[in-house]
Amino acid sequence: MVIDVLHISKLANLTLNDKEIKLFEKQLSSVLDYIQKLQQVNTDNIGETSQITGLVNITRKDENTPSLQQPDAIANGKKIHNGLFEVNAILEQ
């Protein structure tokens, strides 16, 4: 099976160069061929396991607790303006 690497990289917000596109196409296709074999396993009437703890709906009281202060929360940001993260515009006028 051949995978459309360019399309997938756009969905995943990754920028790839031509060399990477070629390499990943080959490598990912061989992995896909391998996982393809699961199609032969009979899973009729078998439920899905997305987690194995058996826990359901873990909640806590909706109470304020001490949390990160703003200076700590933004300390690792590269572009900070007035104590806020600065990002590129995503909508045009």
Residues at the interface with other proteins (CB under 8 A): 3, 5, 8-9, 11-16, 20, 23-24, 27-28, 30-32, 34-35, 37-39, 41, 43, 46-55, 58, 60, 68, 72-79, 85, 87
Q: Which distant-in-sequence residues (6+ apart) come within 8 Å of 24 by Cβ? A: 5, 16
CB 6 within 8 A of CB 14: no
Closest distance to other proteins from the beta carbon of 57 (Å): 9
Closest distance to other proteins from the beta carbon of 82 (Å): 16
- Residue closer to other proteins (CB basis): 41 or 91: 41
* Distance in angstroms (rounded) separating the CA atoms of residues 2 and 10: 17
